[in-house]
A and B are shown apart, each in its own frame.
Chain A
Amino acid sequence: MGTTRRALLIGGGVVAAGAAGLAGRRIWLDRDPAALPAVDGSGHLLWQNWSATEHAYPAARLAPASADEAAHLLRTASGPVRTVGAGHSFTGLVPTDATLVSLDRMTGVLGHDAATSQASVAAGTRLYDLGPALAAIGQDMPNLPDINKQSLAGGTQTGTHGTGRAFKAVHGGIVEFDLATTRGEVLTCNATRNPDVFNAARVGLGAFGIMTRFTMQNHALARVKKVTSLRHRDDLMDGWDDLVRNHRNVEFYVIPFSHWGQLITHDETDEPVRPRGPDTDTDGQMKLKSARDLLEFATPLRFWTLDHMIADIPRQVAIDQGWKLLSNERSVRNREIEYHLPRENQIAALREVVAVIERHRSDVFIPVEVRAIAADDAWLSPFYGRDSGSIAVHTYYKDDYRFFFTLIEPILRRHGGRPHWGKLNSLKYDDFAALYPRWKDALAVRDGLDPEGKLLNPYLHGVLRRG
């Protein structure tokens, strides 16, 4: 056998072995995480959040049907008493071994005022039910989160938001709420009645009591045009300020390991309805995953491949009522870190985040989300007192996410970011105290409503009590 042929055979064998090794590694990493037992040793059923970052085996699960029932429950139940909505928060807000409360028996639109476009809504109403219910009375929320599975209480208590220059997060549209407290009373709170509770508890982490009803300031039902298109990511970053100025709702996603980004705009229109087509995002994400699986260690080839794959994706247009278009199906489970930064720092931070991912984390394939949110005055709102720009980094639910805290979070903090209350972060009491001007005022209100700390689980002890 000649030397050249032998070398080729050996080289081919090494390449084949390497490819087999990489495939085996990916198969190993892609296995489903081991499932937790459905029932613990005491016979208590498992509760776990959507992303499977948190779990508990609560001894009691209660579902009050009225504000009075919620107040009675708070006075009598064993603590920690924690209220859960859809379980979409990634942080440890919900887990309790004692009492888990669901608001699923308090749902629906309770009344409305056509003249002011206000509606009274039970706190457990899921956002996906709220859209059609408000549309039936000629109203619409001008802004919705990317996912609409959350309850109204869960969404507002965590500062959940949509995107748009003139639009506050979901809690920004709350003008009044009823709050059941551990003293067994129900407080009605608005800008003039119990104003401190109104300001402190509007974004309250479920730590002030149980929200039972909201009055929402909505908009008249409008038709919007949703346009989804692919753009060069540098153009999106350079033109972000103009995009925010020129569209009602706007966001973009940076597709890592490509030069592309996806732009999504919503603007009001009189054009005829053109219903949205079947979801293509899930399939798109799985294609990005396939590219990651094949080319994780060949970054230049991954860029080349994705750039060619993405270049031919056509623009998508849908025209319909806003509630039908603003939220999306996100059936690919993920883990997420999201910070809200002063708008003027957003793009500089984004450039750093993308550079760090592409230098150090070739396992990331889910696009980085970029949004804009208007300032509000809720004391614990991440948007308190400043127009904000958000940056969210995701990992697939089977992948490691610990780099959020070592690589991504330091960048977002250095640029003045405040974390989304429902998304992964490593901050504790002192960190939050430095970020929120009315932190101590809010906690004084909370301690007054719950002096025994019945609403605090271990996670909230770390956040709301000085260590």
Chain B
Amino acid sequence: MAIERSGIVPALLALAACHAAPAAKPLTEAQSAARQPADPHLAALYDGSCRACHTNRDSGAPLSGDHTQWDARWAKGAPVLLQNAVAGYNRMPAGGQCATCTAADYNALIRFMADQPQDQK
């Protein structure tokens, strides 16, 4: 008997679904644009660089705060995302147009846009 037909797999999937977090929903551009880092230094960097593309669907960049676009990227790990932000990746221009961001700034901005908790200092 094929395992798929035994009913075990659907039952396990249903059980897993009961305990999983609710599925993320895509954000609208307006919802994404309404987000702002709490830290004023980070907010200034975000406004001067990331926001132009990461709140604009036409840019092709993942919308800030949108888990449906960010979770798979976040799973690559912070070092990979930092390298991609600094050196550029696909349509992402190197440095994300932030000329004064430090590595710590990039990490914090990525965490903000991926809607992940900030590192505790």
Contacts and interface: CB of A to CB of B under 8 A. Distances in A.
Contacts of B102: 45
Contacts of B99: 47, 61, 63, 84, 87, 100, 102, 104
Interface string A31-65: 01001111100000111111010010000011100
A278 interface: yes
B36 interface: no
A46 B87 contact: yes
Interface stretch (B3-11, B17-25, B65-73, B89-97): B89-97
Contacts of A38: 82-83, 86-87, 103
A278 B29 CA distance: 12
Given A104-B48, A149-B52, A331-B59, A45 B87 contact: no
Interface of chain B: mostly helix, strand, loop or mixed: helix
Interface of chain A: mostly helix, strand, loop or mixed: loop
A48 B48 contact: no
Interface centre among A105, A107, A331, by most chain B C-beta atoms within 10 angstroms, is A331
A436 interface: no
Contacts of B97: 50, 86-87, 149
Given A47-B99, A48-B95, A104 B44 contact: yes
B58 A128 contact: no
A389 B8 CA distance: 71
A45 B52 contact: no
Nearest to A55: B94
Contacts of A282: 58, 60
A278 B87 contact: no
A333 interface: yes
Given A86-B97, A87-B93, A107-B48, A45 B59 contact: no
Nearest to B79: A38
A278 B102 CA distance: 34
A104 B49 contact: yes
A126 interface: yes
A332 B84 CA distance: 16
A113 interface: no
B88 interface: yes
Interface of B: 44-45, 48-49, 52-53, 56-61, 82-84, 86-91, 93-95, 97-103
Interface of A: 32, 35-39, 45-50, 52, 55, 61-63, 84, 86-87, 100, 102, 104-105, 107, 124, 126, 128, 149, 278-279, 282, 329, 331-333
